[in-house]
Each structure stands twice: as structure tokens, then as C-alpha cells.
Amino acid sequence: MELWFTEKQTPAFGITAKIRETFVHEKTDFQQLDMIDTEEFGRMLVLDGMVMTTIKDEFVYHEMVAHPALNTHPNPKKVLVVGGGDGGVIREVIKHPEVEKAVLVEIDGKVIEYSKKYLPEIAGKLDDPKVEVIVNDGYMHILNSKNEYDVIMVDSTEPVGPAAPLFEHGFYQGIYEALKEDGIFVAQTDNPWFKADLIQKVNKDVKQIFPIVRVYAANVPTYPSGLWTFTIGSKKHDPLEVDESAIQEMDTKYYSPRLHKAAFVLPKFVEDLVK
């Protein structure tokens, strides 16, 4: 008998993958957590029926959350990752030698536990000496932090359940206050095919708070539509003014110095959303 996992990305559209094995099917204190092994994308973390990451394509998302912001900030010593309990963004953050401390705040400790067990390629740096892991509410951590971080990265699920507050105007204001005077933040902001309204709302909210706001995109096959956006809010440093020749080559599979500025060139229909 064949077993298939299907994510309904909209009420009328979804993606499906053939399953080899189910490792975890558990209702945590916050969400439904499934860890499965698929034939096409390998091991896959699914939260509330939504694909969070897979072994095959995880590098795209994690690299594109981390490196554009870190290569824009001239000296990112202290970095916060909100969400991202799979550890992929943390893995990318600590590739930057100037980062002295990377703090991960994940609300659901089970995500961390099962990612370490079943996704060691992704979660393997969570025990690095530079990394501090806090199992707590990222929203409250932000509100209780003032002038503390050089870069803040919001690696959240889609805006449902425990992640819903991470897409609110007040959260972005809290991020602004938690950043140092030349700080930068970046958040995943979903896809323009199915969530155009969300992208517009986030862009409007962030522009009311940060003087420099840029949107960029990447291709993540297992995310809804495959075209995924990210939004940067910066107090001083513009990612479009970065000297590409000064960006150090590192161990990446998607991001590169040549891609840095190219990622900010958006399809016109996406460009029109964020004017």
C-alpha cells in the first residue's frame, strides 16, 4: 500500500509526496508535529499540516534568511533567531566568524528535540558554544529586549497558531527597539501567489517603523507556489549598497556574493505589491 502526505496550500490547491516512513505523529502543547521520510524530498518536518523543512531543499530557505542580512551589517556580533527550532538558520548564522553569540528562541521544545534526532544535518549546530537555545515565547523575548541585538531573524511558520503574533505591527516595533542603533531584521514573508495581502500588510507595517525596507525572493520547491519572499528592515545599512566583492565566499549551495543583489530583483507583479 502506498502512503502519501498532502499539504493543502490553499483550499483548492496542494502538494503531495510519497511517504517511506513516519517517525513522529504527536500533538505538542502548541501544534501538531509530524516527522516523516519522503521518497522525493527525504526527511520532512511538518507542523499543523504545513511543510516546514526537508532534507533536499532546506538549504535555500535557511541560507536566504541568514546571509543577506549578515552580509549587509558590517559587524553582526550578536544575532537573535525567533522560531527556527530545526536549527537551520542558526547553522548558517555561525558560519560568519564575526558572530560572537547566536540566540535561538523557540516556543516549542519538541521541534528542537525531534530535529536533533531526525534532522541532524540541519540541527547539528544547536549545541555549538556560540549558540544559546531558549525554549520560550519569541514575542515576549523581543518585547523584553532593548538595544541588545545587531541582527534579528524571524524564522516563523505561516501566520496561524503560535506564529500569528509574529506578523503584527507591534512585534515589528518591538524588534526595532530590541535592535542596536544600526540593527537589521529579516523575516520570511510568505509567497506572492497566495498571500499577496500578507506581503502588502507586512511591507506597509515595516515601512512605518524602519527607514530602509527591502523585499527579496528565493525558490523553495516545497513551500506554497515555490516562490518565497523575505523582508528586511534596517536602521542604517542598505542591502543594495553592499560591495559584492567584499562578501566572503562560504560553504553555501544557494546564496552567493553574486546572488546577493540579484535576489532583490523581483518579478514585476511582486514589485508592484511592495511599492
> Is 86 tagged catalytic?
no
Handedness of CA 106, 111, 114, 117 (dihedral sign): negative
Instruction: Using the predicted structure, report yes or no on whether residue 164 has a pLDDT greater than 80.
Output: no
Question: What pLDDT is attached to residue 135?
Answer: 98
Question: What pLDDT is attached to residue 165?
Answer: 53
> Distance between the two ends of the chain, CA-based, in angstroms?
50
User: Residues 108, 155, 190, 205: which is the catalytic one?
Assistant: 155
Contact 151, 69 (CB under 8 A): yes
Residue carrying the nine cell digits 524571524? 154
The lowest-confidence range among 110-119, 151-160, 219-228 is 151-160
Instruction: Using the predicted structure, report yes or no on whether residue 91 has a pLDDT greater than 90.
Output: yes
Which tens digits make up the pLDDT trace of 187-232? 999 999 999 999 999 999 999 999 999 999 999 999 999 999 999 9
User: What is the rounded distance in angstroms from the CA atom of residue 59 to the CA atom of residue 149?
Assistant: 24
Other C-beta atoms closer than 10 Å to the C-beta of 168 total 15
Residue carrying the nine cell digits 549578515? 70
User: What is the rounded distance in angstroms from the CA atom of residue 212 to the CA atom of residue 171?
Assistant: 17
Residue from 249, 187, 244, 183 nearest 210 by CA: 183
How confident is residue 244, by pLDDT bands cut at 50, 70 and 90?
very high
Total length of the chain: 275
Phi, then psi, of 215 in degrees rounded to 5: -115, 135
User: What is the rounded distance in angstroms from the CA atom of residue 182 to the CA atom of residue 8?
Assistant: 40
Say whether 90 sits in a helix, a strand or coil. Answer: helix
Written as one letter, the residue type at 245 is S
Cα-only R_g, the chain: 18
Calculate the alpha carbon distances from 78 to 49, 59, 184, 187 in Å.
33, 22, 11, 17
Contact 35, 44 (CB under 8 A): yes
Instruction: Supply the mean pLDDT for the chain.
Output: 95
Residue from 267, 261, 251 nearest 63 by CA: 251
Q: What is the mean pLDDT of residues 85-112?
A: 98
Q: Is 138 exposed, middle or buried (0-12, 13-18, 19+ CB in 10 A)?
A: buried
Q: Is 226 left (phi over 0), alpha (psi -120 to 50) or beta?
A: left
Instruction: Using the predicted structure, report yes or no on whether residue 170 has a pLDDT greater than 90.
Output: no
